[in-house]
Structure 1
Amino acid sequence: MKPETVYCKNLCGPRIYHAAPLLRELSRQGFALLVEESGFKTHEDFWRLFKGTGPGKYPPEEEQVQMWFVDEWPRSVSKNTLIVPVDIQEPCPESRKDIAPLLPGQIVPTADEVRDRILRMSAKDGPLTGKKVLINAGPTVEDLDPVRFFSNRSTGKMGLALARAAYVMGADVTLVAGPTSLFFPTYLNLIRVRSAAGMFSAVREQFPNCDMFIAAAAVADFTPENVRQHKIKKTEGKMFLEMRRTTDILKYAGEQKKANQTLIGFSVETTELTRNSRQKLYRKNLDMIVANNPLSEGAGFAGDTNRVTLISREGERKLGKLSKLKTAGIILQEAAKL
């Protein structure tokens, strides 16, 4: 596949060294980087930092992506220009803050975020352009007392991968995320929640206005009946806790779903994966379900890969071991056809 070509504008002086970690990572990911002609010294620095990268024709073709490195907000930009703020007053090029592009006076954002923005610009009209996609991700935390809580092994990586893939394909993405240590790109409409009740409340508010809802979160099925105001003291013998069911978010969405909405769920099963997942597909009025067994090699929580089966009313498609980002792209390609 032909690499995406990105024209780097205004990359001279200290900016080239501040931008070096970002550009090095983009080069590693396969982007072809061309630098604006602005003098021999810039070309010399650029070639030393990025072997095989060179000057490009300027101005580039109208539809090609430009990456404009700035320390002050420009008066005007073309439609395919990605503004990358670089604060040249920072004492060390490696001291970086993960902030949004399009905000002046800050330092270079993460390579993953810039990558996604470049791919979205390059794709023009993606299969989800103009669509509002709602995704939930991560675990929920159910408090027992001020010290203890119940949760699960979900990290939110699969949900984040889906959000990134949906954005690249042109969607306006809202992500409802439970507690996780992941960094979320600034292009997402991010809603942070803690508990199953909080996640249900956020989804209930956002669901009526979305075109597609992907329920990728690992929401607690049970929560303590009462949250203690003080730490429960250790005593002799057994302790019994009274738990109650949480609201089934996916079931609620299936009951509220309109004809023009697409609903995708996830199923985590350790036995009878296909049978149990297909039953869930019909029981909860889903258009597609993504089934996986966390005991399978390369699947499950925390890792960067997954191994899933996509099940719809028309059939099923089994995917091999793939990165979660690649898996997310295939899920969304199939979802866009529904």
Structure 2
Amino acid sequence: MSTLQNKRVLLGVTGGIAAYKSAELIRGLREQGADVAVVMTEAAQEFITALTLQALSGNPVHTSLLDPAAEAAMGHIELARWADRVLIAPASADFMARLASGMGNDLLTTICLATRAPVMIAPAMNQAMWENPTTQENLSTLKAKLAAIYGPGVGSQACGEVGPGRMLEPLELVEQLAASFESGLLAGKHVVITAGPTREALDPVRYISNHSSGKMGYALATAAVEAGARVTLISGPSQLPAPDRVEFVSIDSAEQMLTASMQAAEHCDMFIGGAAVCDYRPEAISEHKIKKQGEATLTLSLVPNPDIIASVVKQYPAVYSVAFAAETENVLEYARAKRVKKGVHCIIANDVSDDHIGFNSDENAVTIIDRSGDIRLDQRSKAQLARDLIELLANKSEQAKDTTP
């Protein structure tokens, strides 16, 4: 089975006897590493309690669109942004009808309208309701709107009838949801990604660094693995665990990152420079701890660090190269100039002066810049943004095979 490690799944539970299966579904999702948030309709709460699903998911269960406490912080929008996938299981005939017509008259339908994450449903209802022409019309509408419709299965139903309408079994839904993260766009490709900060030592106990957490680079590594790539992740110091199924190279300084990058880039297809590399390092590293000399000032002599992405481009021009531009002002202007200066195929610009995105945040918003123009990706989770970026970069790298940056 594919993994859902670090994936955010918003599970919608609607009214129907199959709601009891949502408990096992949550357990299966969490066993595969997913973080699960549950939204229940009013009817769903007649079949299974919110307390049960809260205990299984480990997160508060959301039931009301007009919850004053949640909506003070735009709760439904935050949930819509949070999710990597929205799965409604079971999806009743009533819910399918409201979703097909674009209604937003409760929390779950509102989230489906507001999210940029793929929305999937697992229908569950009486076989006669499923075969009703109105339900089938709604199904046709939803097929054009949704990322996937799982099932329904055929078999015995709680009403005693036999036919189509059974919700798929929880483990099958877990497997299909996990498979939805694997695109195959980079199958057979080797992608090298740098991430995190670098540390430039002053003495044995002090260093110069920055606020990078590595979250964006690690998310890109995971997304590239999901897309079928062999991934080498070269990371500066980070509190994050190494993603599954990557070749992980741990470094401290910019010079160490340069050495590792040049070795890895020799046989790669795509190089993504996502690390926040310190621009300067001390000219000399003190052998012993620098002592405070009363009230006297201390002057440090700094020298430039090597430009890692530019070095890769110069040595391996055939590798599809991607740089990041983390700026605090004139973001797009500086990023465009940086793309030309470094000679990369593509640059990804983001505004790190915004406290809601960028360094240490779980969300980000970026603009992708290359010769063909700009593409803006608005604020979303870094995990979802990484998947969107990998899809774009995979397509752009194919288009760029016969061109120069």
Q: Which residue of 2 aligns with 1:322?
A: 380
Structure with the higher fraction of residues in helix conformation = 2
CA distance in 1, matches of 2:350, 2:35: 33
- On the 8 A contact 1:120/1:170 being kept in 2, the answer is no
Q: Which residue of 2 aligns with 1:68?
A: none
Q: How many residues align?
A: 246
Q: What does 1:212-251 correspond to in 2, within 5 Å?
A: 212-236=270-294, 237-251=296-310
CA distance in 1, matches of 2:282, 2:178: 43
CA distance in 1, matches of 2:311, 2:372: 23
Helix, strand or coil at the partner of 2:30 = helix
Percent of aligned positions with the same letter in both sequences?
Answer: 36
Q: Which residue of 2 aligns with 1:256?
A: 315
Q: What does 1:86-125 correspond to in 2, within 5 Å?
A: none
Query: Does structure 1 residue 190 correspond to structure 2 residue 198?
Result: no
CA distance in 1, matches of 2:181, 2:264: 27
CA distance in 2, matches of 1:308, 1:183: 24
Q: Which residue of 2 aligns with 1:290?
A: 348
Answer with 1 or 2: which has the greater Rg.
2
Query: Does structure 1 residue 128 correspond to structure 2 residue 186?
Result: yes
Tell me the TM-score normalized by structure 1: 0.66
Alpha-carbon offset, residue 209 of structure 1: 0.6
- On the 8 A contact 1:207/1:253 being kept in 2, the answer is yes
- On the 8 A contact 2:221/2:231 being kept in 1, the answer is yes
Helix, strand or coil at the partner of 1:153 = coil
Per-residue Cα deviation, 1:302-327 (whole angstroms, up to 9, x for no partner)? 01000111111101011111111111
Provide the alpha-carbon RMSD of the alignment. 3.1
Q: Which residue of 1 aligns with 2:235?
A: 177
User: Match for 2:285: what amino acid?
Assistant: V
Q: Structure 2 residue aligned with 1:269, among 322, 327, 335?
A: 327
Alpha-carbon offset, residue 121 of structure 1: 5.4
Query: Does structure 1 residue 142 correspond to structure 2 residue 200?
Result: yes
- On the 8 A contact 2:189/2:269 being kept in 1, the answer is yes
Cα–Cα, structure 1 residues 189 and 26, in superposed 2: closer, same or farther, change >3 Å? same
In structure 1, stretches of 5+ residues that fail to align are: 4-15, 31-47, 55-114
Tell me the TM-score normalized by structure 2: 0.55
Q: Which residue of 2 aligns with 1:72?
A: none
Cα–Cα, structure 1 residues 266 and 143, in superposed 2: closer, same or farther, change >3 Å? same
Q: Structure 2 residue aligned with 1:158, among 212, 216, 232?
A: 216
Alpha-carbon offset, residue 266 of structure 1: 0.2
Q: Which residue of 2 aligns with 1:83?
A: none
Helix, strand or coil at the partner of 2:266 = helix
CA distance in 1, matches of 2:199, 2:180: 39
Cα–Cα, structure 1 residues 28 and 124, in superposed 2: closer, same or farther, change >3 Å? closer
Cα–Cα, structure 1 residues 165 and 241, in superposed 2: closer, same or farther, change >3 Å? same
Alpha-carbon offset, residue 25 of structure 1: 5.6
